Structures are given as structure tokens and as C-alpha cells.
Structure 1
Amino acid sequence: MTQKTKEAMAASLKERLRKTTLQNITVKDIVKDCEVNRQTFYYHFQDSFALLEWIFETEGTKAISTNKTYDTWEQGFLRVFQYVEQNKMLVHNAYHSMGREHVERYLYSVVYRLLINVINEQAKGMNVPEDDKGFIADFYKYAFVGIMLEWIHQGMKERPEDIVDRLSKLITGAIHRALLKYEQ
């Protein structure tokens, strides 16, 4: 029942975010939609921001779950773009409200996990300190998410496939070259 309750609250928040910004949605609205009491909501989430973060984290993990290798990172990143595009109003209303930091935190988290897996795969057999691998992942994470945030800010007009293709051309081989520079 717990997972179903969380999913029902998530569905309520997502539906409401298709129409309005996060600061206009109350816990009272969500629990009314789900026919549960406020105590049930607070048992699972601290506030509506925590629920939003749970939505992004749960769905984002699903979006890249099988695409975290060097050969599949493009597909994983494309899936993140497609998730954002498919949930355009939800992301737009969360991004343009006080929930912006949750959108950004979600993107940073998902993209970092994708990149660190690629970096660890590429670093096999190399002697690269973990903090340097993390630094490389952070560098690319900020670049990738920056591109995505700008895409969101500009109304998501460019096709995700075109963006990922351009990124692929730019960074093919770059992670391996970076690892070579940090190898001890």
C-alpha cells in the first residue's frame, strides 16, 4: 500500500503541475485528490518539494537504468531529454517556481550517475584516483545539465536527438583523454 500511496500522491502532483506552478499547490490539494489524510502525506514526504524530488528521482532512475555505459550513454542522456520533453508542463511549472532547485538537483544527480559509470568503465586498467574521476564527472555533468537547462529555459524547441548528436560529436574520446591526463 505504501508504494501505491506514494504513486497516487505523485500522480496528483504531476497532474496539478501540468496546470500551475508548485507554489500554488498545497498538500491539502494532494491529499484531497488521493483521499488520504495529511498525516499520511507527511509520513512519506516532508513537503511537496520532497514529493517532487521523489518523482524526478524515481522516474529519472528508470529513464537511464540500462544506458550507463560508454556505448549507451547517448541513449541514456537522450532518455533524460525525452523524459523532460514528455513532462514538459510539469518540468516547466516546477522549473519556473520555487521547485527549480529540485529540477536542477534531479538533473545533476541523474546525469552524474550516468557519467560516473561511463568514466569508471573507461578507467578500467588505469590508475586514476577516485576524486579525479569524480572531478571529470562533475565537469561533464555541469556542461550537460547546463545545456539541458538552457534548452528548458528556451522552451524545449530543439529536438533532443539533435542536441545529443552534437554532444556526441563534441565529447567522443574526450573522457578517455581526460582520464589519461589524470592517470598516475
Structure 2
Amino acid sequence: MKKEELSLRTKEELALSLKILMQKKEFKKITVTDLITECNISRPTFYYHFKDIYALMRWAFEYNILTAVRQSSHTESWKVGLTLFLEHIKENRPFVMIVYQSLGMDTLHQIFSGDVSRVINNVVRKLIDASRYSPKQHQFLVDFYSHAIMASIMHWVFTDMQNSVEEMIQLLELALESPHLV
């Protein structure tokens, strides 16, 4: 096994251990000792991969989100892709909320605005008929709808996901059926 693969595997095991421990106790009370015991690795191995538990949490969350984004971006329909992504977020809401409470809204926004925003941006770019607008207008509409969708998803997460995934898709579809879109 290559060094990169071994490193990724170790990080995945640490992330899984963190998730397991977070089901048993508050994140603030989890120690490196808890993690290395759960994961059966040495303390130097932990610190080789992560500066601290917060760095592990951030990596685990980003990796988790990135995996969901990659899976959803390989679908033919934006609705199917976004449904997969929202289902993933819903399944992992406790983890999302712990990341928010521990690392703050800015970190959560940075994570979401990276790969997630790019995927949504690509979806919106495909939906907007570029021939109807100047390049500047087209880019404005892409940015506007991308930010609106991201804000809607974040609002959904922070309002206890009162709408089902299906309802969210219907609402987003309604928003995307504006006169500016195809």
C-alpha cells in the first residue's frame, strides 16, 4: 500500500473513531487519548496527521462533504445530485451542528463554499441560457443563484430541517424556474 493510501486510511479511521466517540460524549470532552485508544494507534501517529482534534474534525467534515459532493456530481440530473447531497447532509446533521458549534459559522461557510459551491455553480451555469445575456449579466445570475441555493441549504440545516429533502428539492426547483432560467 502506498504512503498516501495508508495516510488516507489512517485519517479515515481517526474520523470514524471521532464520529463514534461523539455519539458517546460531547465533542469538548473528547481527548486525543480517547481517539488513539478507540482507533488503536499511537499518539505520534495522531499528531503526524493532525495538529489537534479540531483539525481532525475539520478534515473529517470536509472529507465527508467532499465525498457526498463527488457522488452527487456524477449524476445526470441536478435534482438527483442535489437530492443525494441533501440526504447526506440530513443523515449527518448532528455532525454538521457540532462542527458549527465548535468551529463556528465562518469555518462551516468556508467548507461549504468550496467544492459544494462549485458544484451548485456548475448546475446553475447549465440552467441559465447564456445566449440571452452578456457575459457580465450571465456571471451575475450564476453567482446570485448559487449563493441563494447555498443560503437556502444552510437555512434548512439551521431550522432543524423542517422541510423534507423532497420538499427542499421542490422549493429549489421553483426558485430555479424563474424567467432568467431556461
Q: TM-score range by the shorter chain?
A: 0.7 to 0.9
Asked if the contact 2:32/2:53 (under 8 Å) is kept, the reply is yes
1:182 aligned partner: none
- Tell me by how many angstroms 1:122 deviates: 5.4
1:56 aligned partner: 61
CA distance in 2, matches of 1:101, 1:117: 23
Higher relative contact order (CA 8 A, sep 6+): 1
Letter in 1 for 2:135: V
1:180 aligned partner: none
Q: Higher mean Cα deviation, 35-44 or 66-75?
A: 66-75
* Equivalenced residues, count: 175
Q: Higher mean Cα deviation, 98-107 or 8-17?
A: 98-107
Asked if the contact 2:129/2:181 (under 8 Å) is kept, the reply is no
2:121 corresponds to which of 116, 119, 124 = 116
TM-score by length of 1: 0.74
Call closer, same or farther: CA 1:38–1:81 in 2, change over 3 Å: same
Asked if the contact 2:128/2:142 (under 8 Å) is kept, the reply is no
Percent identical: 27
1:128 aligned partner: 135
Structural mapping, 1:11-160, within 5 Å = 11-68=16-73, 72-121=77-126, 128=135, 133=139, 136-160=141-165
Gaps of 5+ in 1: 178-184
CA distance in 2, matches of 1:29, 1:160: 35
- Tell me by how many angstroms 1:70 deviates: 10
CA RMSD after TM alignment: 3.2
Asked if the contact 2:17/2:35 (under 8 Å) is kept, the reply is yes
Gaps of 5+ in 2: 1-5
TM-score by length of 2: 0.75
Q: Higher mean Cα deviation, 113-122 or 32-41?
A: 113-122
Q: Higher mean Cα deviation, 112-121 or 160-169?
A: 112-121
